[in-house]
A and B are shown apart, each in its own frame.
Chain A
Amino acid sequence: MSDPKPHVTGLKERLYKRAKPLIVALWLSLLFFPFKGLKAALTLFVVFSLILISSKYLFGFWKISIEWFNALREKMGAPGLFSGRIPIIVRQILLLFILGLPFLFGDYFIDVAVLVGIYIILALGLNVVVGFAGLLNLGFVAFYAIGAYTYALLNTKAGISFWPALPFSVGLATVAGFLLAVPALRLKGDYLAIVTLGFGEITRLILNNWDSMTRGPNGISGIAPPVIMSLSFGKLSHYYYLVLVFVILSLFINKRVYLSRIGRAWVAIREDEIAASVMGINTTMYKLYAFAFGAFWAGLAGALFAGKMQFVSPESFTFMESVLILCMVILGGLGSIAGVILGAFILVLLPEILREVQLYRMLALGAGLVLLMIFRPQGLFGGKGVSLRS
């Protein structure tokens, strides 16, 4: 006869188990106390205890809803979250919506949409490096800055317009990616991350201090927007279509490259570098490609950014920006192109929606990153096949 509850625990242990949420809440509010005083700490204690006590039930609810969701998905025959084919009618509506957005909404919405587009290109670029090839790049914003500043300088100093300047922006960023990669790729994992971070910081410091060239922290203003056959893209709705074209182009190219021989080599390197090199992949070469290809998109995004804002300053290219782009890639799911788009959407739109509580948005971003890593490290979209190696 087996007891249904075999582990009879002592009173002390049971008491501890009951009181654990309270102890944790007390501990956290004690830590909070010196920074804001007694009243705030007490409030925090109450809030934390309520959250922690109810979390048991919340998690139960969460599990049930996930099971329910999975069952629904299986019924529909879709293998993963959103990865099944979206019904055609939904797609057509979506397409119409994207094409007609400037006619439906005001300038503010178009502005946000343009920003989303630029970030999608950026995040797709970083996705190549981090998601496909599995190399953590914490200084990605440097290439973005190089692209933006190249266009800004060429335009304001030499009077070159957007289209002739674009190859320079993109080319210079790509070359910078190449140059960084040559020494950096001798390093592994964390070291690579920290060297790329250093590169990003050095770039920002140069932009900030080279007054005669970049005008330092004041930035460069008066950058001309792109023009095609006397049609200026200075107007937001026009710019929206320009960015849209580039987003579609980058989506298409990224998808094709991912499915090509190069893309497969990247994934092989990400999954197991030694095995990949044994299979005859020149790992250094392909890693170089990944860095340069990622930087290429960052350069493009940078030029588009400079053309849109008509102003650049070092403030737009801080480490936080790198982290934000990384978040977009991770949030959606490393290596998943659809996920990257979703990530860019969420992280650009959230701050706009949460304008009232803007002060708290970085706080939430930090906490969100920690929670995401703990509860869903593969990201919202991440497939099962993607492992997070570095």
Chain B
Amino acid sequence: MFLQQLVNGLTLGSVYALIALGYSMVYGILELINFAHGEIYMLGAYLGIICLGFFTAIGLTAYNLPLALILTFILSIIVCAAYGFTIEKIAYKPLRNAPRLSPLISAIGMSIFLQNYVMLTQGATDKVFPHFFGAAGVQFLSVRMTYLQIFIIFISIILMIGLRLFIRKTRMGKAMRAVAQDKTMASLVGINIDTVISLTFIIGSGLAAVAGLMVAMYYGLVNYFIGYIAGIKAFTAAVLGGIGSIRGAMFGGILLGLVESLGGSYISSEYKDAYAFILLIIVLIVKPGGLFGKAELEKV
């Protein structure tokens, strides 16, 4: 029972971690809570259904399922990245030098807009994600791991390692770190801030799209308001680990997933959604910088 919940929590947590990475990266660079990020995740789930519906209609899923799935992933990532890019250009870029409250409110507005945009175009009812993986899995002692769970954890780990390598090793990653440290200085040494910010949104949105798709596969149901609660939880995860820190986002996400699934099974499942907030409040009060974050010094 305990181990089983551990596996479930790990699955959920790796998805939270993927979304949290987007929050953390954006916060690290713009110091903005990108409320619309959860909606990108929701868009990813919807795009998965739309793409798969299309591929089923043209007979690709029957002909070659893995190819269809890969294409679905790629298309969702591209479209979600495009959405992330556009949202930044429309809602945040004009407010880059505005007081802190303005972009936050703009982000909330964007989030409401996207939710209702999907509701109006796709309908308010639950959408069913086609079942491909089934319940098959491996049994290990008393723990059952479905192939889907293994797939989710595997993909998440690969993406996180990839992101870490990208940020640590590449030129663009270096530029991102520089911008996160000091925007003005970075632009003085010749880094194009706009490109870096756009790239941050594109990468974050791509990760959120993957997360959305995998959750849609896992639960089988998609609705237009899943983005809000998942977004809040992922943000919690990002704060837990120390916002702005990539490593923190990963650990925070997994920790949150574990707390939720263990708390849900041992304490009360009705308050499952509340654990995230309680955890968040405790962490912020005890260690405001998060687990991996540095305490911020205020410049006068």
Contacts and interface: CB of A to CB of B under 8 A. Distances in A.
Band of interface residues on A: 35 or more
Given A198-B280, A367-B113, A31 B79 contact: yes
A298 interface: no
A32 B120 CA distance: 12
A91 interface: no
B24 to A, nearest CB: 13
B151 interface: no
Contacts of A370: 90-91, 106, 109-110, 113
Contact of B100 (A189, A365, A368): A189
A109 interface: no
Given A28-B86, A35-B50, A373-B98, A199 B33 contact: no
Interface string B97-119: 01111111110111111111110
B60 interface: no
B300 to A, nearest CB: 6
Greatest chain B CB density within 10 A among A30, A32, A365, A370 is at A370
A366 B112 contact: yes
Nearest to B288: A187
Interface string B142-168: 000000000000000000000000000
Interface string A185-213: 01101110111011101100110010000
Majority-rule SS of A interface residues: helix
A360 B33 contact: no
B299 to A, nearest CB: 10
Interface string B264-278: 000000110110111
A143 interface: no
A274 interface: yes
A250 B146 CA distance: 59
B116 A366 contact: yes
Contacts of B284: 187, 191, 195
B228 interface: yes
A198 B277 contact: yes
A190 B110 CA distance: 17
A248 B82 CA distance: 50
Contacts of B118: 35
Contacts of B106: 369-370, 373-374
A369 B112 contact: yes
B285 interface: yes
B242 to A, nearest CB: 12
Given A330-B105, A366-B113, A388-B102, A202 B274 contact: yes
Contact of A201 (B112, B277, B298): B277
Given A209-B270, A359-B120, A190 B104 contact: yes
A371 B83 CA distance: 18
Nearest to B100: A390
Contact of B114 (A191, A366, A389, A390): A366
B83 A31 contact: yes
B232 A373 contact: no
B159 to A, nearest CB: 23
Contacts of A373: 91, 95, 98, 102-103, 105-106, 109
Interface in A165-196: 183, 186-187, 189-191, 193-195
Given A205-B271, A373-B106, A389-B101, A194 B285 contact: no
B288 A363 contact: no
Interface string A349-376: 0000000000110110111111011100
Contacts of A201: 232, 273-274, 277
B94 interface: yes
A360 B298 CA distance: 43
B112 A34 contact: no
Contacts of A30: 82
Contacts of A362: 112, 115-116
Contacts of B51: 34
Interface string B215-243: 00000000000001000100110010000
A365 B111 CA distance: 11
Nearest to A273: B298
Interface in B59-94: 79, 82-83, 86, 90-91, 94
A42 to B, nearest CB: 15
A32 B100 CA distance: 30
A136 interface: yes
A182 to B, nearest CB: 10
Contacts of A70: none
Contacts of B117: 35, 363
Contacts of B50: 34-35
B258 interface: no
Contacts of B109: 365-370, 372-373
A372 B105 CA distance: 10
Interface in A109-145: 136
Interface string A1-39: 000000000000000000000000001101110111000
B235 A390 contact: no
B4 interface: no
5 contacts: A35-B122, A362-B112, A373-B102, A373-B109, A374-B91
Interface of A: 27-28, 30-32, 34-36, 40, 136, 183, 186-187, 189-191, 193-195, 197-199, 201-202, 205-206, 209, 274, 319-320, 323, 326, 330, 359-360, 362-363, 365-370, 372-374, 377, 387-390
Given A35-B122, A362-B112, 8 more contacts: A35-B118, A35-B121, A320-B112, A369-B105, A373-B98, A373-B105, A374-B95, A388-B99
